Amino acid sequence: MVSSAHEGLHRIFQERPEILAPVFRVLGLPFPEKVTLDALTPDVTETRPLERRIDTVLRIGPSDGDDFLLAVEAQGARKPDKESSWPYYVAHLQAKYRLPVLLLVVCQDLATAKWAASPFDCAVRGWTTQRTHPLVVGPDNLPVITDSRTAAENPAMAAFSALAHARSRRIDAILEALGRGLQQQDPMAADYFYEFLDINLRGTAAGDKWREILSFVSYFPGRGTVRETAYLEGKAEGKAEGEIKGKAEARASMILRALEVRGVDVPGDVREHIAACTDPYTLSLWFDKALVVTTVEELFAGPPAPSTGTSDAS
């Protein structure tokens, strides 16, 4: 099973495509100001029983030019088999969609990034039939964002950079700046990034640091945190019911996202049950369990959640 960090390094391109422009600038490539963007199936399996799957595939349609595909691979270590599978991915996508293909590899350490950037040749006796030259971003070229104002201006890029630099000695400063920057954001907008890093850094030293930061900004009631207090005060002041419902929906979405990342199968009726829940204690309990369970049945195991005395998400 792939790790959460692996998932986060490529899925953020699907979920927050605004990072494409700054990432392309890092690579020294122009990126059009106006584009259409569609996530395509990552499955490149042929009729033979050999599964091949790209992490993320995006179809990018510039307003001032022709469409192209961007295949994104998250690579945590050097794997020689990629030297043949990456050329296959590029050739298959080009043949399937009749579009040019760029291959972007995201790494978390310099050694892997250096290897991934090497052109991979299919050659015999000095004749090169095919050359695959990936674009690579990692600790050597992604910016280290330790300024909270910069993080607040572009939280998606700051979160992506934090994940790429998760093994850096400067990760604590990076996460602290991002935490301060997110507090300047609209709570609903910032919440995605709080939960994104909570899930994708889980089980690492950087994850422990982020959980420490989250202890001061968590929305979930019952933990005595700053954001919880602000949330409850907002309720007392009569915040709109729609906003409260939206926060519950965001919690349910992150529970389902955590289960998806961990490869836990969620039937449609269970998905609807989670999405319909508006009780904050129950959502908090389910979220914590979603990070460790291996089956959806385990999510609901154990004693029932205590009643909060209300049926809404306040």
Contacts of 258 (CB under 8 A, 6+ apart): 199, 287, 290, 291
To the nearest whole number, what is the mean pLDDT of the chain?
Answer: 80
pLDDT range class, residue 222, cuts 50, 70, 90:
very low
The larger pLDDT score, comparing residue 242 to residue 11, is at 11
For residue 117, report the phi and psi dihedrals to the nearest 5 degrees.
-80, -15
What is the token pair recorded at 14?
């699907």
pLDDT on residue 2: 45
- Between helix 187-200 and helix 205-214 the angle, nearest 10°, is 150
Question: What gap in Å lies between CA 159 and CA 119, rounded to an integer?
Answer: 29
Higher-confidence position of 118 and 307: 118
Looking at the whole model, is its pTM more than 0.85?
A: no
Domain with CATH 3.40.1350 in the chain: 4-137
Task: Check if the beta carbon of residue 187 is closer than 8 Å to that of residue 158.
Answer: no
Residue 23 three-state SS: helix
Mean pLDDT throughout 40-60?
64
Q: Which CATH class is domain 4-137?
A: alpha beta
Average of pLDDT values for 62-72? Answer: 90
Rounded Cα gap, residues 82 and 106, in angstroms: 13
The pLDDT of residue 87: 93
Q: What is the dihedral of CA 5, 11, 13, 16, to 10 degrees?
A: -100
The residue that leads in pLDDT, 69 or 303, is 69
